[in-house]
């Protein structure tokens, strides 16, 4: 199986001034995660490594860059799931204040195993103790070796109502391609609930799906020696990766 690692750096109304840092961050995370897969590592290890890199990147709303709650503190949500056993690891964490979306990764490894991980600081000025879709398997994160893997970003309360990650995988299970399932389910949620959202998906055959109904969402994935990335609608840029 040809391994693939796909990441997102959060969907939203990303300002022009933030675009270069977001692109740099998702490319770095995608390359690091792919390197693990290329060296025979598991999808689970690869998504964890990619998300950790974005949690350390202050331009992302996760880890060090997390937004603050009403008390001016950082409360973060995360989840990680492996598709071979449908097990989840993750949950809720509370730390000290940080600065300034959601980050996530999905991967398929050379053995055909899938994994997904998502991490967030949540919504700026959120209620203390609020949990988001990001910590909920089925809403913000899902991986099943029999279907695919999904990581979601966007308005958490709407994502939970749509059980969004699971809804995308169910559409793929019924026969939709990853890209079509991702796009159509996100559009349905936005039309019905009037809030924006983004998602990255990998099917069990390694097809990728990338979609967002917000203004922008940074994403990147590496396949063989090429990295593909973008942040605007209908934008797909690519570069050859030179091993350092
Ligand atoms: N999707 C992240 C949040 O709403 O907190």
Q: CA-to-CA distance for 126 and 94, rounded, in angstroms?
A: 14
Q: Is the pLDDT of residue 98 over 50?
A: no
Query: CB of 9 closer than 6 A to ligand 1?
Result: no
Task: Indicate which CATH number applies to the domain containing 236.
Answer: 3.60.20.30
Whole-structure pTM value:
0.94
In whole angstroms, what is the distance from residue 44 CA to residue 67 CA?
A: 26
Q: CB count, 10 Å around CB of 244?
A: 5
Q: Give me the DSSP letters along 207-240.
A: -EEEEESSSEEEEEEEETTEEEEESSTT--EEEE
Q: How far is the CA of 77 from the centre of ligand 1 (A)?
A: 8
Write the pLDDT tens digit of every residue in 8-59.
Answer: 999 999 999 999 999 999 999 999 999 999 999 999 999 999 999 999 999 9
- DSSP structural state of residue 106: E
d(CA 212, CA 94): 28
236 phi, psi to nearest 5 deg: -130, 110
Q: How far is CA 56 from the centre of its chain?
A: 15
In short, whether 66's Cβ falls inside 6 Å of ligand 1 is no
Q: Is 198 in the pocket of ligand 1 (CB under 6 A)?
A: no
Instruction: Provide the number of structural domains found in the chain.
Output: 1
**CA of 77, closest atom in ligand 1:** 5
* Ligand 1 centroid distance, CA of 79 (Å): 12
Domain, as residue range, for 154: 4-240
Question: Which strands make up the sheet holding 216-223, listed edge to edge?
Answer: 87-95, 74-82, 114-120, 103-108, 4-12, 216-223, 226-230, 237-240
For residue range 129-162, list pLDDT tens digits in order: 998 999 999 999 999 999 999 999 999 999 999 9
Pocket lining: 158 vs ligand 1, CB cutoff 6 Å = no
Show the tokens assigned to 52. 């950790």
134 lines ligand 1 (CB under 6 A): yes
The residues carrying an active-site annotation are 102
Hey, which bits of the chain come out as E strands? 4-12, 74-82, 87-95, 103-108, 114-120, 141-144, 148-154, 197-203, 208-212, 216-223, 226-230, 237-240
Q: Model confidence at 94, in pLDDT bands (50, 70, 90)? A: very low
The answer to whether the beta carbons of residues 68 and 124 sit under 8 Å apart is yes
Measured from the Cα of 132, ligand 1's closest atom is 5
């Amino acid at each position: 199986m040809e391994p693939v690692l796909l990441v997102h750096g959060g969907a939203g109304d990303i300002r022009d001034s933030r675009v270069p840092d977001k692109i740099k961050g998702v490319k770095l995370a995608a390359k690091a995660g792919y390197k693990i897969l290329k060296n025979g590592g598991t999808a689970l290890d690869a998504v964890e490594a990619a998300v950790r890199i974005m949690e350390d990147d202050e331009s992302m709303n996760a880890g060090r860059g997390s937004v603050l709650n009403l008390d001016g503190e950082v409360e973060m949500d995360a989840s990680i799931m492996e598709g071979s056993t449908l097990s989840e690891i993750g949950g809720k964490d509370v730390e000290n204040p940080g600065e300034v979306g959601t980050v996530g990764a999905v991967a398929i490894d050379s053995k055909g195993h899938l994994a997904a991980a998502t991490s967030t600081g949540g919504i700026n000025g959120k209620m203390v103790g609020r949990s988001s879709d990001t910590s909920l398997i089925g809403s913000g994160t899902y991986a099943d070796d029999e279907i695919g893997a999904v990581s979601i970003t966007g308005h958490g309360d709407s994502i939970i109502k749509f059980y969004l990650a699971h809804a995308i995988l169910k559409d793929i299970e019924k026969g939709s391609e990853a890209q079509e399932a991702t796009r159509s389910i996100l559009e349905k949620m936005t039309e019905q609930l009037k809030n924006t959202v983004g998602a990255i998906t990998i099917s069990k055959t390694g097809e990728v799906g990338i979609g967002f109904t917000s203004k922008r969402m940074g994403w990147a994935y590496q396949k063989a020696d090429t990295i593909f990335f973008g942040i605007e609608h209908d934008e797909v840029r690519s570069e050859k990766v030179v091993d350092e």
